[in-house]
Amino acid sequence: MTRSTHTRHVFAAAATVALLVTGMHATGVATAQSGSSDAVHVVTGNDPDLSRSATVTVDNVTVTREVLGPNVAGPGGKITFRTTFAVSDGPARTITRYVDHPQGMTYVSDSAHVTYSEPGGTKVTESLTPVPGHIPTLTGPGSLAGMLVSDIEWPIPTGSTVIVDISYRWLDALNPSFEGYVGVRTGVTADISGLGTQQWPHMSVEASCVNACHPQMFPFAS
Looking at the predicted structure, is the pLDDT value of residue 70 above 90?
A: yes
Assigned CATH topology for domain 8-25+41-202:
Immunoglobulin-like (2.60.40)
161 and 123 in contact (C-beta within 8 Å)?
Answer: no
Q: Residue 43's pLDDT is what?
A: 63
Q: Residue 76's pLDDT is what?
A: 82
Residue 212: pLDDT band with limits 50, 70, 90: low
Looking at the predicted structure, is the pLDDT value of residue 35 above 60?
A: no
Higher pLDDT, 222 or 55: 55
- Strands 131-136 and 143-149, by their bridges, are antiparallel
Mean pLDDT in residue range 43-47: 81
Q: In 3D, which of 141, 146, 138, 148 has the Cα closest to residue 218?
A: 146
For 136-184, what is each residue's pLDDT tens digit?
888 877 888 899 999 999 999 999 999 999 999 887 765 444 445 566 7
For 114-134, what is each residue's pLDDT tens digit?
999 988 889 999 999 999 989
55 and 200 in contact (C-beta within 8 Å)?
Answer: no
Q: Residue 5's pLDDT is what?
A: 32
- What's the whole-number average pLDDT of the chain? 77
- Strands 41-45 and 61-68, by their bridges, are unpaired
Q: Residue 184's pLDDT is what?
A: 76
Task: Give the C-alpha separation, 157 to 34, whole Å.
Answer: 57
Domain boundaries, the chain: 8-25+41-202
Instruction: Report the chain's terminal Cα–Cα distance, integer Å.
Output: 31
